Amino acid sequence: MPDALQTQRRTLLAELFRNYSSPAFAIRLWNDWQWSSIPGEKPMFTLAVETPNALAALAQCRIDDAKLARRCTVELLDYRNCAHLSGSFDKIASVGMFEHVGPKNLPHYFHTVHKLLRPGGTFLNHGIARSALSPVRKDSFIDRYVFPDGRLATLSQAVGAAESAGFEVRDVENLREHYELTLRKWVEGLRQNEEELRNYVAEKTYRIWLLYMAGSAAAFRRGDSAVYQILLSRPERGRSGLPLIREDWYSTSTWEQRNEI
């Protein structure tokens, strides 16, 4: 992802996880190697769910290198097997794994996250959704070579399932154009590093991913797909604990005063 876009994404998550007067317990559901870096500004428990072993090991190494082992930890768990952690977390962020849940499993997914949150907690769901006007394609190139049996949900399906699970929708942000730029940068990187990459993968694999990313960039440009960040809350007797306006999400002073609202 281009540096500026990656920085913006990290900034939002860092601020949403910031500034509790007592130790904050947070969980991140992620499938993205870029989330192996840990801010660690406050005491925090970080749980990585649905993450390959190598990435979990990398995240733990970075935690150890930053001397944050007493604040952060990484575990490999299936999100469907987290019942023992119910009510344990103040904040949850799901980055890059929502796409793997599938429309039919959305109710269980959002109910699970809702149970993991304490009352007053917040959940940021970051993931790809298809346009409601874009038909579900079977036996496509992506279905055959990249994500077998993969099915993207629509935004309305995701929001509906979240509300049915008890969440309040606080904000929805569409990053479609950003992701087109990201994909085009990835395509550029694949082309520029073809010789080196071919030392690690077969020509067929290289060409599959080159075509997949180029085609995905075109799909985002057309509006067939988009990346949405949905901010959800589990209000405590009607109190969300969130700042009143979006700009204040990025203000440290506002978060420090959150308990006064």
Q: Domain boundaries in the chain?
A: 3-137+146-176+226-260
Which pLDDT belongs to residue 11? 53
Which pLDDT belongs to residue 57? 80
Domain 3-137+146-176+226-260 class in CATH: alpha beta
Question: Residues 204-228: pLDDT tens digits?
Answer: 999 999 999 999 999 999 999 999 9
Task: Supply the pTM of this predicted model.
Answer: 0.79
CA 71 – CA 49 distance, rounded (Å): 17
CA 48 – CA 74 distance, rounded (Å): 5
**Tokens encoding 66:** 């930053």
Question: Residues 74-125: pLDDT tens digits?
Answer: 777 788 888 788 777 888 888 888 888 889 999 999 999 999 998 988 999 9
The answer to whether the beta carbons of residues 227 and 177 sit under 8 Å apart is: no
Query: Is 87 exposed, middle or buried (CB count within 10 Å of its CB: 0-12, 13-18, 19+)?
Result: exposed
**Greater model confidence, 30 or 64:** 64
